[in-house]
């Protein structure tokens, strides 16, 4: 029922906005290519980028919802990652820092970018010890290319006399590659958490300086041992104990017959 309710809320909001602004409903419901009579492939790379932002947010959200027994910090990381990716999707898809904020809300573009940078820095600081337990190379590359795109837009291109096409290639090409690395990191991390391959709980002693270490399900050797921050319940542990005892008994009996 939640998706139906959410869809109804969005639809009602669009109806209310178009009525208040006295514009045709088709202006918000149809494709931009139809409204502005553009080629269907117009803005294709930008649209693909928005889809990857959405896919990254979905991967983190699904992993967080599918691991209710995981350590709280792991789930917070997944939900925070989903929110951050969703905001990047909205900002990119609706041009918040480029058009909505400076033109309609009278908030400078650089202030919005600064706020986004603070959010990313807060995410890295809050979950830094957990992130280093993942395969974070893709995340580093994502920040490098996204930062290069932002730098090209704000600093490099205004100073260089490049053609418009070359400028778009530098800025939007770096942005596309950055989004691709961002999506890849969050998808791989979500899958690894769901498989129980990484992110055991941290040491209880914060002063130890230990970071989370990878652990696979096969490394579990006793009752109630954590796998990706998940505790085995008593029933599962009991079955594992009985299966292990039966295996030892069968091995001993086989040797006695020999």
Q: What is the pLDDT of residue 31?
A: 85
Q: Over range 137-159, report the average pLDDT.
A: 88
Closest C-alpha to 71, from 189, 196, 188, 200: 200
At residue 161, the pLDDT reads 72
The whole-number pLDDT of residue 210 equals 47
Q: Please provide the average confidence, as pLDDT, over all residues in the chain.
A: 80
201 pLDDT exceeds 50? no
Q: Flag the least confident range among 63-77, 138-152, 204-218.
A: 204-218
Mean pLDDT computed over 51-80? 95
Whole-structure pTM value:
0.74
What pLDDT, in 10s, does the model give residues 25-34? 988 888 888 8
Residue 212 has pLDDT above 90, yes or no: no
Transcribe 27-91 into DSSP letters.
HHHS-HHHHTT--TTTTHHHHHHHHHHHHHHHHHHHHHHH-TTS-HHHHHHHHHHHHHHHHHHHH
Question: How far apart, in whole angstroms, are the C-alpha atoms of residue 229 and residue 235?
Answer: 18
In the prediction, which pLDDT does 156 show? 73
- pLDDT band at residue 206 under the 50/70/90 scheme: very low
* pLDDT for 33: 82
Contact (Cβ atoms closer than 8 angstroms) between residue 186 and residue 138: no
pLDDT tens-place string over residues 159-193? 777 777 787 888 899 999 999 999 999 999 999 99
Residue 40 is predicted with a pLDDT of 84
Whose tokens are 């129980």? That residue is 196
Q: Average the pLDDT over 215-239 and give the result.
A: 41
Residue 107, both tokens? 């908030």
What is the per-residue pLDDT for 1? Answer: 75
Instruction: Measure CA 150 to chain center.
Output: 20
Residue 92 predicted with pLDDT over 60: yes
Res. 241 pLDDT band, cuts 50 70 90: low
The predicted pLDDT at position 242 comes to 54
Q: Which class for 43: exposed (0-12), middle (13-18), buried (19 or more C-beta within 10 A)? A: middle
Q: Pick the residue with more confidence: 245 or 171?
A: 171
pLDDT at residue 244 in the model: 52
Query: With 70 as the cut, is the pLDDT of residue 65 above it?
Result: yes
Choose between 137 and 246: higher pLDDT. Answer: 137
């Amino acid at each position: 029922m939640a998706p139906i309710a959410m869809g109804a809320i969005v639809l009602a909001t669009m109806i209310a906005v178009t009525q208040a602004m006295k514009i045709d409903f088709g202006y918000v419901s149809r494709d931009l290519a139809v409204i502005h009579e553009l080629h269907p492939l117009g803005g294709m790379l930008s649209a693909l980028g928005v889809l990857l932002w959405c896919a990254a947010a979905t991967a983190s959200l699904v992993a967080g919802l599918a691991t209710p027994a995981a350590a709280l910090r792991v789930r917070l990381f997944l939900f925070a990652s989903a929110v951050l990716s969703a905001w990047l999707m909205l900002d990119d898809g609706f041009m918040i820092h480029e058009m909505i904020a400076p033109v309609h809300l009278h908030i400078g573009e650089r202030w919005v970018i600064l706020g986004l940078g603070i959010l990313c820095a807060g995410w890295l600081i809050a979950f830094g010890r957990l992130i280093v337990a993942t395969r974070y190379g893709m995340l580093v590359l994502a920040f490098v290319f996204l930062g290069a795109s932002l730098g090209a837009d704000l600093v490099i291109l205004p100073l260089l006399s490049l053609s418009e096409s070359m400028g778009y290639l530098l800025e939007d090409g770096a942005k596309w590659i950055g989004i691709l690395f961002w999506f890849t990191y969050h998808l791989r991390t979500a899958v690894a958490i769901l498989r129980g391959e990484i992110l055991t709980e941290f040491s209880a002693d914060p002063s130890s300086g230990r970071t989370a270490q990878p652990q696979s399900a096969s490394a579990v050797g006793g009752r109630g041992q954590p796998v990706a921050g998940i505790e085995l319940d008593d029933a599962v542990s009991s079955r594992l104990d009985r299966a292990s005892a039966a295996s030892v008994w069968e091995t001993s009996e086989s040797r006695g017959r020999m």
